[in-house]
């Protein structure tokens, strides 16, 4: 047993290694990136297991699935929206089942600190009808990860762990235990893994047959804690994940706690819930994310004779991240005495592009080149360059999901938006930009794609990228883009006029053109030099 | 025994290094802690903060409730003000007086400092000057840690030792500058 300081993300990584992990795969995304960062650190020099940044989340999932097929234990991790990208293999892996233990970690971002939505991964647990964990602290993240691999093999199914930003990025000492050895190679049976209807129907039947056992396991899990207050039957709390901590924080120092159930596993522990609800008149459901538990509890018609409070009732806000203060209020407690705000109006300090960032020069040139055009639209993508939306650039008009800039520019061009410009980073291009560009090249769509090649995945801290430099240029040509309309610029102030001209020329071309803006991210440059 | 601290600054100012030192010192001193930090987009020059909770007992929430913080420790004066509502009425503000102006509407610095001094207890140090004197302007975060040292429930020797461990691998001059920065922050706080 040893004690280590770990982020929630790192506790998952270490738990996986101690559970006999053979390989982990991921695509960077806040707040999940630190899982793979730490895994790579743990793999170290001797590489006892594989730890890999994949091209995108779908690919990462399929790589992990291959490991599971081979009988070994695999971890695949990403941010919540990454699971959308991986949803196809994810849903189908519930049908093939897992051979070696397979843990999917999806890190949600309630409050959208670094995301474009607040989707709640627990719905994916329910959607796929598999088992899910939701840790409330770093120690549980470690323990649950270890258990999840055993459980995955016991049920023969992938298991999902839901994290939230607050736990992913919080550090605490964690007690760790000895590592278990890795599994031996043992291939899966073809009849389970070939999802022809004849096999898939049988496999789906097996998945449905396991549902009752999963509920039973949830009811018996040591991570779900039920405490009934015999003296007070008026009010009880159901709380999950980090929201449980906020509930306990608000009640700390009180002589007695209301009845409560801490929920840490899904499908819901039905027996425990029945006991809590049976014991009290009013239940407050506290969960970070969507009202997932609350909605199931209420159903369409509510529970006769009981009052269910939570996000649906308006007792807690329906959007944003929970906090100890919000939960305190929902429990009917007033605010703690605090210092008054200083009274000085505080200027906001939003994030911005680093001084000297190559994207800044590209945006300046692009803005100049588009001056005087009417009806132009710049479709952007996910990365540091999304900050081009803010002043002084105000350079982009959309940012939706990984790779969307190219498909959207084509769609808009198809119906008459001109010039239609797409702006996408090299890592995002490798992730989801290649396929839409292939289609646009085939149609020779009237649009200009600007690929910002800074040779890294910058926003998430500088992970590797797979389509940069020469390889990127060859790739674009290979997709069928006309060679004379593949242009390269170096986004530097001294090349401003030249770059404006290149962009103008290509926007003027009635067909597809691709401009690659090549200059390394200054943060990465600094790291490399230090 | 418990202490809740809001660490504040601008992305890139090194508040995660302050957190690293406090975390490790807490572990060495036998305390439990939870320390929530900001990664991702805000680190690009935006306002960042870390909730640091130290205790010899159970800590529930990773976030500090408003009104519970014993200290705001900020590498930038405007950022110190942002979290005043987290501070207990008798809490202390330890902050740098060096503004980080990366926004067009940064208020007049005199007004900012005046607002800082409205806190019942405040310690203000000129971190830029002290860090430069110590050998590198990059050590402003450690100057601030030094300024806060006397008010932390951690042993000063442990803090010193942890700074030593953190910077040992980065060359003698960096290490010495940071140890010096810590000492001068400490001295400045006594004099302020
Ligand atoms: S991290 Fe790199 S790409 Fe991102 S804003 Fe800074 S310099 Fe630009």
Q: Which two tokens stand for residue A9?
A: 């993300």
Whether B160 and B182 have beta carbons less than 8 Å apart is answered as yes
Q: Using CA atoms, how far apart are residues B187 and A382, in angstroms rounded to an integer?
A: 46
Q: Using CA atoms, how far apart are residues A379 and A409, in angstroms rounded to an integer?
A: 6
Q: Which two tokens stand for residue A360?
A: 């800044």
Closest by CA position to A328, among listed A313, A318, A315: A315
Residue A430 backbone phi and psi in degrees, to 5: -65, -35
Whether A64 and A91 have beta carbons less than 8 Å apart is answered as no
Whether B66 and B51 have beta carbons less than 8 Å apart is answered as no
**A453, A522, A525: which to mutate for ligand 1, most atoms within 8 A of CB?**
A522
Task: Tell me how far the alpha carbon of residue B123 lies from the centroid of ligand 1, in angstroms.
Answer: 34
The answer as to CATH 3.10.20.90 being correct for domain A225-330 is no
Inter-axis angle of helices A211-220 and A197-209, nearest 10: 30
Choose, out of A138, A251, A338, the residue to mutate when testing the contact with B (most B CBs < 10 Å). Answer: A338
Chain B hits for A248, Cβ within 8 Å: 60-61
Q: Is the Cβ of B64 closer than 8 Å to some Cβ of chain A?
A: yes
Whether A243 and A326 have beta carbons less than 8 Å apart is answered as no
- Residue boundaries of the structural domains of chain B: 2-191
What single DSSP character describes residue A337? P
Instruction: Give the model's pLDDT for residue B146.
Output: 97
Q: Using CA atoms, how far apart are residues A340 and B56, in angstroms rounded to an integer?
A: 29
Interface list for B 161-190 with A (CB within 8 A)? none
| B35 beta partners | A171, B52
What residues have CB less than 8 Å from A337, skipping those under 6 apart? B67, B88, B89
pLDDT digits (tens, 9 = 90+) for B116-165: 999 999 999 999 999 999 999 999 999 999 999 999 999 999 999 999 99
Q: Which two tokens stand for residue A337?
A: 């005495």
Instruction: Give the model's pLDDT for residue A253.
Output: 84
Chain B hits for A347, Cβ within 8 Å: 78, 103, 105-107
Q: Please tell me the distance in Å from B185's CA to the nearest CA on chain A.
A: 25
Q: Longest C-alpha distance within chain B, in Å?
A: 45
Interface list for B 17-46 with A (CB within 8 A)? 19, 23-24, 27, 32-46
* Chain-chain contact of B112 with A166 (C-beta, under 8 angstroms): no
Residue A486 backbone phi and psi in degrees, to 5: -105, 110
State the CATH architecture for A2-209.
Answer: 3-Layer(aba) Sandwich (3.40)
Closest by CA position to B46, among listed A349, A258, A48: A349
Q: What is the dihedral of CA A174, A179, A184, A186, to 10 degrees?
A: -20
Whether B48 and B181 have beta carbons less than 8 Å apart is answered as no
Q: How many other CB atoms are found less than 10 A from the CB of residue A278? A: 12
Residue of chain B with shortest Cα separation from A322: B63
* Chain-chain contact of A166 with B36 (C-beta, under 8 angstroms): yes
State the CATH architecture for A358-529.
Answer: 3-Layer(aba) Sandwich (3.40)
* Chain-chain contact of B36 with A353 (C-beta, under 8 angstroms): no
pLDDT per residue of chain A (530 residues) written in tens, 0 to 9: 689 999 999 999 999 999 999 999 999 999 999 999 999 999 987 789 999 999 999 999 999 999 999 999 999 999 999 999 999 999 999 999 999 999 999 999 999 999 999 999 999 999 999 999 999 999 999 999 999 999 999 999 999 999 999 999 999 999 999 999 999 999 999 999 999 999 999 999 999 999 999 999 999 999 999 999 999 999 999 999 999 999 999 999 888 999 999 999 999 999 999 999 999 999 999 999 999 999 999 999 999 999 999 999 999 999 999 999 999 999 999 999 998 877 888 999 988 899 999 999 999 999 999 999 988 899 999 999 999 999 999 999 999 999 999 999 999 999 999 999 999 999 999 999 999 999 999 999 999 999 999 999 999 999 999 999 999 999 999 999 999 999 999 999 999 999 999 999 999 999 999 999 999 999 999 988 87
Task: Tell me how far the alpha carbon of residue A208 lies from the centroid of ligand 1, in angstroms.
Answer: 48
State the CATH architecture for B2-191.
Answer: 3-Layer(aba) Sandwich (3.40)
* Chain-chain contact of A344 with B112 (C-beta, under 8 angstroms): yes
Instruction: Give the model's pLDDT for residue A156.
Output: 98
Whether A95 and A210 have beta carbons less than 8 Å apart is answered as no
- Interface predicted TM-score of the whole assembly (ipTM), two decimals: 0.95
Q: Which residues line ligand 1 (CB under 6 A)?
A: A 353-354, 357, 359, 384, 454, 458, 521-523; B 44
The tokens 């442990």 sit on which residue?
B158
3-state DSSP assignment of residue A4: strand
Whether B81 and A343 have beta carbons less than 8 Å apart is answered as no
Q: Which of B24, B27, B102 comes nearest A352 by C-beta?
A: B102
- CATH 3.40.50.970 positions along chain A are 2-209, 358-529
Low-confidence ranges of chain B (pLDDT < 50): none
The residue whose C-alpha atom lies closest to atom 6 belonging to ligand 1 is A354
Q: Please tell me the distance in Å from A52's CA to the nearest CA on chain B.
A: 20
Chain B hits for A350, Cβ within 8 Å: 46
Chain A hits for B78, Cβ within 8 Å: 346-347, 349
Q: Which two tokens stand for residue A238?
A: 């159901």
Task: Tell me how far the alpha carbon of residue B11 lies from the centroid of ligand 1, in angstroms.
Answer: 13
Whether A428 and A495 have beta carbons less than 8 Å apart is answered as no
Instruction: Give the model's pLDDT for residue B44.
Output: 80
Closest by CA position to A27, among listed A49, A56, A59: A56
Q: Which of A5, A338, A352 comes nearest B67 by C-beta?
A: A338
* Chain-chain contact of B37 with A33 (C-beta, under 8 angstroms): no
The b/e string for B102-132 (b: 16+ C-beta within 10 A; e otherwise) is ebeeebeeeebbebbeebeebbbbbbbbbbb
* Chain-chain contact of B10 with A349 (C-beta, under 8 angstroms): yes
Chain A hits for B43, Cβ within 8 Å: 351
Q: Please tell me the distance in Å from B50's CA to the nearest CA on chain A.
A: 9
A371 to A394, A417, A492, A524, B65: CA distances (angstroms): 13, 16, 19, 32, 49
The residue whose C-alpha atom lies closest to atom 2 belonging to ligand 1 is A521
Chain B hits for A242, Cβ within 8 Å: 61-62
A159-164: strand order across its sheet: A50-53, A21-26, A73-79, A102-108, A159-164, A131-133, A265-266
Strand B32-36 vs strand B47-55: parallel, antiparallel, or unpaired?
antiparallel
Closest by CA position to A77, among listed A162, A169, A136, A140: A162
Q: Which two tokens stand for residue A453?
A: 């090649």
Q: Using CA atoms, how far apart are residues A277 and A238, in angstroms rounded to an integer?
A: 9
Choose, out of B27, B56, B60, the residue to mutate when testing the contact with A (most A CBs < 10 Å). Answer: B60
- CATH 3.40.50.920 positions along chain A are 225-330
Instruction: Give the model's pLDDT for residue A350.
Output: 87
Q: Using CA atoms, how far apart are residues B104 and A352, in angstroms rounded to an integer?
A: 12
Interface list for B 72-131 with A (CB within 8 A)? 78-79, 81-82, 84-89, 91, 102-103, 105-107, 111-112, 115-116, 118-120
Q: Which two tokens stand for residue A477?
A: 């040509």
* Chain-chain contact of B65 with A342 (C-beta, under 8 angstroms): no
What residues have CB less than 8 Å from A421, skipping those under 6 apart? A366, A370, A376, A377, A378, A379, A409, A447, A448, A449, A450, A507
* Chain-chain contact of B40 with A167 (C-beta, under 8 angstroms): no
3-state DSSP assignment of residue A60: helix
Ligand 1 atom with least separation from CA of A387: 5
Q: Using CA atoms, how far apart are residues A528 and A514, in angstroms rounded to an integer?
A: 29
């Amino acid at each position: 047993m040893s004690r280590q300081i770990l982020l929630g993300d790192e506790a998952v990584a270490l738990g996986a290694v101690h559970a006999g992990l053979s390989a982990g795969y991921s695509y960077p995304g806040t707040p999940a990136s630190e899982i793979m960062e730490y895994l790579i650190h743990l793999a170290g020099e001797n590489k006892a297991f594989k730890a890999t940044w994949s091209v995108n989340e779908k690919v990462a999932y399929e790589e992990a699935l291959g490991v599971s097929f081979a009988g070994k234990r695999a971890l695949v991790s990403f941010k919540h929206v990454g699971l959308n990208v991986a949803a196809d293999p994810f849903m189908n892996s519930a049908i093939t089942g897992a051979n070696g233990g397979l843990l999917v970690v999806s890190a949600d971002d309630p409050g959208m600190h670094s995301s474009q939505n607040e989707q709640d991964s627990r719905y994916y647990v329910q959607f796929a009808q598999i088992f899910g964990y939701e840790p409330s602290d770093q120690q549980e993240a470690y323990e649950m990860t270890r258990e999840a691999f055993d459980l995955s093999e016991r049920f023969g199914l992938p298991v999902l762990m839901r994290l939230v930003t607050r736990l992913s990025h919080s550090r605490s000492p964690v007690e760790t235990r000895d590592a278990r050895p890795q599994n031996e190679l043992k291939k899966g049976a073809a009849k389970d893994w070939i999802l022809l209807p004849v096999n898939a129907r049988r496999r789906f039947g097996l998945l449905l047959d396991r549902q009752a056992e999963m509920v039973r396991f949830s009811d018996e899990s040591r991570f779900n804690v039920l405490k009934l207050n015999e003296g007070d039957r008026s009010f009880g709390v159901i709380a999950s994940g980090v929201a449980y901590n906020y509930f306990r924080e608000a009640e700390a120092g009180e002589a007695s706690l209301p009845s409560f159930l801490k929920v840490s596993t899904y499908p819901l522990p039905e027996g425990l819930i029945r006991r809590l609800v049976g014991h009290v008149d009013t239940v407050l459901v506290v969960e970070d994310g969507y009202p997932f538990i609350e909605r199931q509890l209420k159903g369409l018609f509510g529970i006769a004779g009981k009052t269910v409070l939570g996000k649906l009732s308006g007792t807690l806000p329906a959007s944003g991240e929970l906090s100890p203060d919000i939960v305190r209020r929902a429990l009917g407690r007033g605010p703690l005495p605090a210092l008054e705000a200083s009274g000085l109006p505080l200027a906001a300090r939003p994030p911005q592009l680093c001084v000297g960032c190559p994207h800044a020069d590209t945006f300046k040139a692009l803005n100049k080149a588009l001056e005087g055009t009417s009806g132009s639209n710049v479709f952007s993508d996910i990365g540091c360059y999304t900050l081009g939306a803010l002043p002084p650039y105000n350079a982009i008009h959309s940012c939706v999901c990984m790779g969307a800039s190219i498909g959207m520019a084509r769609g808009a061009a198809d119906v008459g938006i001109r010039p239609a410009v797409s702006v996408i980073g090299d890592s995002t291009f490798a992730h989801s930009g290649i396929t839409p560009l292939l289609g646009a090249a085939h149609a020779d769509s009237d649009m200009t794609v600007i690929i910002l090649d800074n040779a890294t995945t910058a926003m998430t801290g500088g992970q590797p990228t797979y389509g940069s430099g020469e390889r990127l240029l060859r790739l674009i040509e290979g997709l069928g883009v006309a060679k004379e309309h593949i242009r390269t610029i170096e986004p530097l102030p001294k090349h401003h006029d030249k770059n404006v001209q290149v962009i103008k020329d290509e926007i003027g071309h009635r067909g597809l053109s691709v401009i690659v803006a090549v200059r390394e991210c200054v943060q990465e440059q600094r790291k490399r030099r230090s | 025994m418990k202490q809740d601290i809001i660490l504040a600054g601008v992305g890139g100012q090194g508040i995660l290094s302050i957190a690293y030192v406090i975390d490790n010192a807490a572990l060495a001193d036998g305390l439990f802690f939870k320390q929530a930090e900001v990664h991702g987009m805000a680190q690009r020059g935006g306002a960042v903060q870390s909730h640091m909770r130290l205790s010899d007992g159970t800590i529930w929430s990773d976030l500090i409730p408003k009104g519970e913080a014993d200290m705001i420790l900020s590498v930038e004066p405007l950022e110190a003000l942002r979290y005043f509502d987290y501070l207990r009425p008798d809490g202390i503000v330890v902050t740098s007086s060096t503004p980080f102006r990366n926004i067009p509407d940064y208020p007049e610095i005199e007004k900012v400092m005046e607002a800082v001094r409205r806190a019942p207890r405040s310690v203000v140090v000129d971190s830029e000057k002290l860090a430069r004197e110590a050998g590198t302007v990059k050590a402003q975060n450690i100057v601030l840690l030094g300024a806060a040292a006397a008010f932390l429930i951690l042993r000063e020797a442990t803090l010193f030792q942890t700074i030593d461990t953190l910077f040992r691998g980065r060359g003698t001059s960096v290490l010495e500058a940071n140890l010096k920065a810590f000492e001068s922050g400490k001295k400045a706080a006594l004099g302020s």
